[in-house]
Amino acid sequence: MADVAALVESARQGAPRAVARLISLVEGASPQLREAMAAIAPHCGNAYVVGLTGSPGVGKSTTTSALVSAYRAQGKRVGVLAVDPSSPFSGGALLGDRVRMGEHASDPGVYIRSMATRGHLGGLAWAAPQAIRVLDAAGCEVILVETVGVGQSEVEIAAQADTSVVLLAPGMGDGIQAAKAGILEIGDVYVVNKADRDGADATVRELNHMLGLGEARQPGDWRPPVVKTVAARAEGVEEMIAALDKHRGWMDERGVLAERRAARAAKEIETIAVTALRRRMGELRGGKRLDALAARVAGGTLDPYTAADELVEGVTEGG
């Protein structure tokens, strides 16, 4: 058994292998996690967490890479967490195509990590915040969380960042697709990438129009800006970072940053608690209680609500 305290200390000193091992504890839902998270807790809360989401093909990975370069040029330590199943960063073992991030691979000021938690009891909602916590404690000043903006869980993860960036590209279905995917509600900053393509200005106009359709804003409310980029040529990245800085400043000023972080912590706590309760449910009567209820529901002799009541009773009353 590894010495968790030593591992955490080593990660805090910036040792990449220690950081990697801690995130592996998260992915594996290791029993040592509890100890690791307790040791990490006092060192969290310093990183600025940026979520990047968008459909496959909008250039999330390229944009992430360009942002990393820009933040590195500012001398900042950067963490990248890819929880996008369609990303070349995640599933990297399968593809071996982390090429585009290759320029950062040897930079000791950058941690790049993909999450592989499919099938895990708590899923991404459970693992992602804890991985962010590890990167935070390891001294990352900026953490970029890349998720695909299609799935419910993935959009929820992006929405829990300090600042959520929604990426679109011209001609991909544009604003209407974004509205359908529910991402018009979560963006603090919108980026129209591949802005050298036809239709970029139309997409920007459409987005601005749709963003203006919401309820009337109070003076001082945040109005999500729409930034044009060509991430592959690093064009517009400065404007994007300026928009992020502006949002961060606005959040600081209005106390929104603290609120968001508390909301993220609440979600994290709740997910850990729910996962523990689910485990208890699965273990009731040596794992047979749920099976017995399921057989009755599948057979039509019991409805799922009554079955759920029995399960809840079993967990809360030790029955």
Shortest CB 123 distance to a second copy, Å:
6
Partners of 145 in the β-ladder: 51, 81
- Convert residues 21-60 into a mask of x (bound to a second copy by CB under 8 A) and - (unbound): ------------xx--xx-xxxxxx---------xx----
Which position among 24, 100, 264, 283 is part of the footprint of a second copy (CB under 8 A)?
264
Shortest CB 242 distance to a second copy, Å:
27
Site for a second copy in 165-194 (CB under 8 A): 176-177, 179-182
Site for a second copy in 277-296 (CB under 8 A): 277-278, 281-282, 290-291, 293-295
**Cα–Cα distance, 3 to 125 (Å, whole number):** 27
Which position among 23, 144, 148, 200 is part of the footprint of a second copy (CB under 8 A)?
148
Are 240 and 189 contacting, i.e. CB atoms less than 8 angstroms apart?
yes
C-alpha separations of 300 from 296, 307, 310 in Å: 6, 12, 16
Residue 21 parent element (H or E): helix 16-27
User: By CB under 8 A, is residue 306 in contact with a second copy?
Assistant: yes
Shortest CB 243 distance to a second copy, Å:
25
Which position among 86, 232, 246, 283 is part of the footprint of a second copy (CB under 8 A)?
86
Q: Where are the alpha helices (DSSP H) in 171-255?
A: 174-180, 200-212, 237-254
Which position among 14, 16, 272, 283 is part of the footprint of a second copy (CB under 8 A)?
272
| Residue 249 vs 319, nearer CB to a second copy | 319
**Cα–Cα distance, 191 to 63 (Å, whole number):** 10
Size of the site for a second copy (CB under 8 A): 78
| Residue 13 vs 316, nearer CB to a second copy | 316
Shortest CB 118 distance to a second copy, Å:
5
| Residue 70 vs 277, nearer CB to a second copy | 277
| Residue 70 vs 179, nearer CB to a second copy | 179
Closest CA to 244 of 129, 146, 135, 164: 164
Which position among 54, 79, 85, 187 is part of the footprint of a second copy (CB under 8 A)?
85
User: By CB under 8 A, is residue 99 in contact with a second copy?
Assistant: no
Residue with tokens 């996962």: 275
Are 26 and 131 contacting, i.e. CB atoms less than 8 angstroms apart?
yes
User: By CB under 8 A, is residue 304 in contact with a second copy?
Assistant: yes
| Residue 75 vs 318, nearer CB to a second copy | 318
**Cα–Cα distance, 245 to 79 (Å, whole number):** 17
Are 154 and 83 contacting, i.e. CB atoms less than 8 angstroms apart?
yes
Partners of 166 in the β-ladder: 53, 190
Rounded to 5°, the CA angle 24-78-48 comes to 100
Tokens encoding 143 = 């953490």
| Residue 132 vs 237, nearer CB to a second copy | 132
Partners of 122 in the β-ladder: none
